[in-house]
């Protein structure tokens, strides 16, 4: 497994101010932050980023939400980063997320669920490249 994943703190958690506590959680779990930026996605970017879900009933609502305000975009490094980060964030629906996970602690509901995590190494690479150039990443820390 690879050692990088792509994470986002979504507009709900930026707007509510919970994003600082989420950054604390990330650091406390020993992820190395290789890249970080705050950016409001355009509607076109949100559509492209979530294109895999375009046939799903929640797609339009998801695009509207993800382009509604700034997100914090993160490249995280850790051993087996993709499954590690999925464990750290918990299930998509916070009602089903394990206690202590970021979604259990900070998500509002299944749509406005505070954070994103890549679901495979291949998608992690694509998602990192969607927002970051390799030169923007802080390596050899
Ligand atoms: N989503 C939603 N309703 C659903 C399923 C997903 O609004 O029934 C949103 C939610 O914000 C989720 C995103 O679409 O995080 C992507 O869905 P996915 O199934 O990939 O969940 P994730 O990988 O984020 O846990
Ligand atoms: Mg997903």
Number of domains, the chain: 1
Whether 141 is in a domain gets the answer no
Whether 80 is in a domain gets the answer yes
Q: What DSSP state is assigned to residue 126?
A: H
C-beta of 10 in contact with ligand 1 (< 6 A): no
Whether 39 is in a domain gets the answer yes
Whether 68 is in a domain gets the answer yes
The predicted structure's pLDDT at residue 35: 98
Nearest CA to ligand 1 atom 11: 111
Q: How far is the CA of 139 from the centre of ligand 1 (A)?
A: 31
Whether 69 is in a domain gets the answer yes
Whether 139 is in a domain gets the answer no
C-beta of 40 in contact with ligand 1 (< 6 A): no
Q: Which residue's entry shows tokens 């705050």?
A: 38
The predicted-structure confidence for 7-26, as pLDDT tens digits, reads as follows 999 999 999 999 999 999 99
Domain interval for residue 14: 4-134
The residue-averaged pLDDT of 101-127 equals 98
The predicted-structure confidence for 85-108, as pLDDT tens digits, reads as follows 999 999 999 999 999 999 999 999
CATH number of 107's domain: 3.30.70.141
Q: Is the pTM of this model over 0.95?
A: yes
C-beta of 116 in contact with ligand 1 (< 6 A): yes
Whether 74 is in a domain gets the answer yes
Q: How far is the CA of 120 from the centre of ligand 2 (A)?
A: 9
- Residue 84's contacts (CB-CB under 8 Å, 6 or more residues apart) are 5, 31, 78
Whether 55 is in a domain gets the answer yes
Residue 1 pLDDT > 90, yes or no?
A: no
Tokens representing 24 are 């604390």
The predicted structure's pLDDT at residue 5: 98
């Amino acid at each position: 497994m690879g050692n990088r994943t792509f994470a986002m703190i979504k507009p709900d958690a930026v707007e509510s101010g919970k994003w600082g506590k989420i950054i604390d959680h990330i650091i406390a779990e020993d992820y190395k932050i290789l890249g970080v930026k705050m950016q409001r996605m355009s509607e076109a970017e949100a559509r492209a980023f979530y294109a895999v879900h375009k046939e799903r009933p929640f797609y339009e609502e998801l695009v509207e939400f993800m382009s509604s305000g700034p997100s914090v975009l993160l490249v995280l490094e850790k051993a087996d980063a993709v499954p590690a980060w999925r464990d750290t964030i918990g299930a998509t629906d916070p009602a089903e997320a394990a206690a202590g996970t970021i979604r259990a602690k900070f998500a509002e509901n299944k749509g406005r669920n505070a954070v994103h995590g890549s679901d495979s190494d291949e998608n992690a690479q694509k998602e990192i490249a969607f927002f970051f150039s390799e030169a923007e990443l802080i390596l050899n820390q």
